[in-house]
């Protein structure tokens, strides 16, 4: 077979480990693997290059994605899907593996419905794809964010300040919740729980009175009170229609300082969370999913996605993954009350 692979949307540590496993498993059965460079842009423009396990092996421990990524939407224009199908046919591609979140894999599923042979893999540091227990990138980003919170705690204590750490998470608070627990944050704020600024300010004052400092882990998608996001620019959207977030931490820091009189600073981790080398767990999970994806191609399980269930890779129909965002549920929501 001639298998194409792409990484789309935001990059994650662990992408190169997935790519290595895909190529290594494919080569074992005599298949050739071609990278669509810079995500869906490569498919749209017909930019494919052959990749081998030999060139990828030394990149497994490096973050990012060696084949590039972008937020290109192949369905942005009417002619986009046709170009993708034509370019896949011209390259003699027998199967396409899409590595990414709901946007990247959602486009892959639409192309599958038009006749392409597509297999999906879950990759997003938000860990918010439905049905799968794990998405590539989550553990590594979790390590980075929790380490940042630990560092903020020492400087917060030294200066007797409140520190607000804004962490990625548009619709789901998995990364903020888990990193807040691991990083010993005093307060954890996630999109699943409405923010009451009055109650929060009272809580901050109470904690500060006991220990002279406060560290807050905050998801970028948190909405204050009944208001819309205070810093969203409605005109700034990507090709999939998502508004650009970032900055609610600075807003919250100002509100806390005005209401409590306590010096408050904010830090936005931003793309720092995507960088760095993958954790050992990340590499293992990524490689398991990569091997599974090639097996799915061989078995003709197109229109399906490889996911992790009970710590094992399995395949399910892609439409099941797009039923909705996997948000923090009742099994975990009570933890925000312990840290709130």
Query: From residue 54, how far is each of 1, 50, 51, 58, 155 by CA, in Å?
Result: 19, 12, 9, 8, 44
Instruction: Give the three-class secondary structure for 68.
Output: coil
Instruction: Give the three-class secondary structure for 219.
Output: strand
- Helix ranges (DSSP H) in 227-279: 248-260
Catalytic residue among 126, 128, 139, 186: 126
Decide if 58 is catalytic: no
SS (H, E, C) 94-122: CEEEEEECHHHHHHHHHHHHCCCCEEEEE
Report how far residue 302's alpha carbon sits from residue 86's, in angstroms, rounded to the nearest whole number. Answer: 18
Report strand pairing: 243-244 vs 233-237. antiparallel
Q: Within 10 Å of residue 289's Cβ, how many Cβ atoms?
A: 28
Report strand pairing: 32-36 vs 48-51. antiparallel
Rounded CA Rg of the chain: 21
Quickly tell me which residue has 């989550």 as its tokens.
Answer: 138
Query: From residue 297, how far is each of 65, 83, 120, 290, 294 by CA, in Å?
Result: 22, 22, 10, 11, 5
Report yes or no: 72 and 39 within 8 Å, Cβ to Cβ.
yes
Nearby residues of 234 by Cβ (< 8 Å), 6 or more positions away? 243
Ramachandran area for residue 46 (φ above 0: left; ψ -120 to 50: alpha; else beta)? left
Which residues are catalytically annotated?
126
């Amino acid at each position: 077979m001639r298998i194409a692979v792409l990484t789309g949307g935001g990059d994650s540590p662990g992408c190169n480990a997935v790519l290595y496993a895909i190529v290594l498993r494919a080569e074992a059965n005599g298949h050739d693997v071609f990278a669509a460079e810079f995500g869906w842009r490569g498919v749209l423009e017909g930019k494919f290059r052959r990749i081998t396990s030999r060139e990828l092996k030394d990149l497994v421990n490096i973050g990012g994605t060696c084949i590039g990524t972008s937020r290109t939407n192949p369905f942005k224009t009417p002619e986009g899907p046709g170009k993708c199908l034509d370019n896949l046919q011209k390259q003699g591609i027998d199967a396409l593996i899409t590595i990414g979140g709901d946007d990247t894999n959602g486009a892959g599923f639409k192309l599958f419905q038009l006749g392409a042979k597509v297999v999906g893999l879950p990759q997003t540091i938000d860990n918010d794809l439905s049905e799968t227990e794990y998405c590539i990138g989550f553990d590594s980003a979790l390590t980075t964010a929790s380490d940042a919170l630990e560092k903020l705690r020492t400087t917060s204590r030294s200066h007797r300040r409140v520190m607000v750490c804004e962490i990625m998470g548009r619709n789901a608070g998995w990364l903020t919740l888990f990193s807040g627990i691991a990083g010993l944050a005093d307060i954890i704020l996630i999109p699943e729980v409405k923010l009451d600024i009055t109650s929060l300010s009272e809580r901050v004052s109470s904690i500060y009175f006991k220990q002279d400092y406060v560290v807050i882990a905050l998801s970028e998608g948190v909405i204050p009170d009944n208001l819309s996001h205070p810093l969203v620019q409605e005109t700034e959207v990507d090709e999939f229609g998502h508004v650009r977030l970032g900055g609610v931490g600075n807003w919250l820091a100002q509100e806390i300082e005005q209401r409590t009189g306590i010096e408050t600073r904010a830090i936005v981790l931003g793309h720092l969370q995507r960088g760095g080398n993958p954790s050992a767990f990340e590499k293992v999970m990524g490689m398991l999913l990569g091997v599974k994806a090639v097996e799915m191609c061989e078995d003709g399980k197109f229109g399906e996605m490889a996911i992790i269930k009970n710590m094992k890779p399995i395949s399910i129909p892609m439409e099941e993954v797009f039923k909705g965002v996997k948000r923090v549920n009742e099994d975990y929501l009570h933890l925000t009350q312990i840290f709130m």
